[in-house]
Amino acid sequence: MRHNKSFNHLSRKKAHRDALLANMTISLIQHKRIFTTLAKAKALRMYAEPLINRAKNDCMANRRLVFSYLQNKDAVNILFREIAERIAERPGGYTRILKTGNRLGDNAKTCFIELVDYNENMLKEKSGKKASRTRRSRGKSAAAPEAAATEAPAAEAPAAE
């Protein structure tokens, strides 16, 4: 019985699952975005984010620990050099999952999983976006009478003395 066990086994034995997640993490680090099924992407996020978090502190112990999971020197170097610079101020949430629909052959839910700080399109939209207004402010026409009303009593206060 399941009984509050939230780990997805992906219909594989432990050695096969570990190899799958390690290879997917290496691909994610090298290509910054991969296309996979939703279940694998969610399992990959649980596997990769603690390893990416280790890259913030570049010491030999962390490098050895990450290498013990990935077994790929190039991926470890990219992780600790390039990716660690971009995620230094981010407290967590290094990956993003974007659903893309269902696969034609078996109707499996598919998605992209990508590193958050490497999607230039979303970074441009974020920087170009104006500050959102509250529900109360309805634009310049509504803001102008309110501003005039707040300034008028302030101007009358010195005259009343």
In tens, the pLDDT along 26-67 reads 999 999 999 999 999 999 999 999 999 999 999 999 999 999
Nearest to 72 by CA among 33, 17, 25: 25
> What pTM value is reported for the model?
0.74
Q: CATH 3.40.50.720: does it fit domain 14-119?
A: no
Q: What is the distance between the alpha carbons of residues 40 and 78, in angstroms, rounded to a whole number?
A: 23
pLDDT by residue (tens digit) across 120-139? Answer: 887 777 666 566 666 776 66
Q: Where are the domains of the chain?
A: 14-119
Sign of CA dihedral 94, 100, 102, 104: negative
